[in-house]
Amino acid sequence: MADIFSAVKKIEFKGKDSKDPLSFRYYNPDEVVAGKKMKDHLRFGMSYWHTLTGGGVDVFGSKTYDRPWDKITDEMELAEFRVKAAFELMEKLGVPYFCFHDRDIAPEADTLEETNRRLDKIVDVIEAEMKRTGIKLLWGTSNCFSNPRFMHGAATSPHAEVFAYAAAQIKKAMEITKRLNGEGYVFWGGREGYESLLNTDVKMELDNLASMLQLACDYADEIGFKGQFYIEPKPKEPTKHQYDFDAGTVIGFLKTYNLDKKFKLNIEANHATLAGHTFQHELRIARVNGMLGSVDANQGDLLLGWDTDQFPTNIYDAVLAMYEILLDGGFKTGGLNFDSKLRRGSFDIEDIFYGYISGMDTFAYGLKVAAKIIEDKVFEKFVADRYSSYKNGIGKDIADKKIGFKELEAYALKHEVSTITSGRQEMLETILNNYIFG
């Protein structure tokens, strides 16, 4: 292990009464919960972009983070150093996975050819570190949104040359993801959306977006990439309207273009709230459609209303997220990638550790509570009862699709509605709180 963060030792589980701020109180990787080790349920991931590449920049000000690599001026030397730093951080935190965009790990050069050469060089370093540590790649992706060429979108750019460039970039990113045994590949629609309908051919843009996804599937077959493809919904930001608005919209889009068997969803908490949904809502919609794949763990600030990507500390949300994930049978290829960044004012090295510890402990506690709620069948029993009228009589006929409007009218003419029961929301919320309080 490099010794870049020598002031911080490996973060250990010390239990809930620990006074050591650099310890886990709830995340105990080998502890078994609901028949599986915590680390295998949670499959935590580090986001390379926020943790290594980001510097605390916002629209009003420049970089604030104080990092050991700040003085390195050679771009490739810097990229290599960051790889070493990334793996040391993951080892010290006990984070078993990471996720990256192509442009996070290696700087873009003047030509695509040279950019790809640079990528290969850094992938060599990453591959060696993966071998040394056993840390794995949860998913790879391509940044087709930062460079000015993507100002009007990538797959949905009105300019075919940009579509071609994006395809070349995605092709290369898939190749390196495969080389690193990535368990998945994410498509987040960077600038795939529009600013104004006055200059936009929506139908052509949606067709082109679907074509790009189909081409990626074809290429995966060609090179034998077996990882899971994900789409990450987001309603707005950077564009006013992003095509992958929310889980429901993405599922509809994938079905329209016959792509739904090839993709699952990567649900991000802060994107859910930007869409006006809860995190649980997005997970539920993905789950009931058989498309829950992976999670970008973070949280927004409802008073701000933009993508603040904060480390998740909201225990209520974490419990309900883990509830959906467990009811889905747990992660298969996916995991909890902390697409989370430190506040601009949290510029010290220790803050990286505090950020990850807060998120990991929150989800560890969320897992334990959710497992108990499921074990006790608290909500399932209530919900099953609430819908029990579909188990027999007219309800069963409806559920079995055996009757039409005429029979239903005949039934309604004979039976006044007399069986409505309370939704008991407040009672259920109190029960949930009691499980959280422990």
Helix, strand or coil for residue 168?
A: helix
CB of 242 to ligand XUL, least distance (A): 9
Spatial distance between the Cα atoms of 184 and 86, rounded to a whole number of angstroms: 20
Q: Give the dihedral of Cα atoms 402, 405, 406, 410; nearest 10 deg.
A: 90
184 near 230, Cβ under 8 Å?
Answer: yes
Closest contact distance (angstroms) between CB of 337 and Co ion is 7
Q: Considering beta carbons, is residue 141 or 208 the nearer one to ligand XUL?
A: 141
Catalytic residue among 50, 101, 271, 277: 101
Active site residue 281: no
Residue 58 has a CB neighbour count (10 Å cut-off) of 11
Stretch 184-213: interaction string toward ligand XUL, x if CB under 6 A: --x-x-------------------------
Told to check if 307 binds ligand XUL by CB under 6 A, we report: yes
| 5, 339, 365, 373: residue in contact with Co ion (rule CB under 5 A) | 339
In single-letter form, the type of residue at position 232 comes to E
Nearer to ligand XUL, 38 or 153 (CB): 153
Tell me how many degrees the CA angle 236-332-354 measures, rounded to the nearest 5: 60
Strand residue runs (E) in 91-143: 97-101, 136-141
Q: Is 101 a catalytic residue?
A: yes
Residue 244 touches which member of ligand XUL, Co ion, none, C-beta under 5-8 Å by kind: none
Q: Least distance from C-beta 341 to Co ion, angstroms? A: 11
Among 80, 91, 183, 232, binds ligand XUL (CB under 6 A): 232
Got the DSSP string for 65-86?
Answer: ---TTTT--SHHHHHHHHHHHH
| Residue from 88, 183, 339, 361 binding ligand XUL (CB under 6 A) | 339
Distance (Å, whole) CA 323 – CA 312:
16
Q: How many CB atoms lie within 10 A of CB 78?
A: 16
Alpha-carbon distance of 31 to 15, in angstroms, equals 12
Out of 41, 50, 104, 328, pick the active-site residue. 104
In the complex, minimum distance from the CB of residue 289 to ligand XUL, in angstroms, rounded to a whole number: 20
Identify the residue among 41, 43, 103, 234 touching ligand XUL (CB under 6 A). 234
Task: Give the one residue of 51, 141, 280, 333 binding ligand XUL; rule: CB under 6 A.
Answer: 141
Please report whether residue 268 would count as binding Co ion according to CB under 5 A. yes
Q: Which residues contact 121 (CB under 8 A, 6 or more apart)?
A: 76, 106
What is the 3-state composition of the chain as percent helix, strand, coil, each rounded to the nearest 5?
50, 15, 40
Q: Please identify which residue in 80, 244, 296, 307 interacts with Co ion, judged by CB under 5 A.
A: 296
Per-residue x/- marks for ligand XUL, 4-33, CB under 6 A? ------------------------------
Residue ranges binding Co ion (CB under 5 A): 268, 296, 339
Residue ranges binding ligand XUL (CB under 6 A): 101, 141, 186, 188, 232, 234, 268, 296, 307, 339
Q: Which residues are catalytic?
A: 101, 104
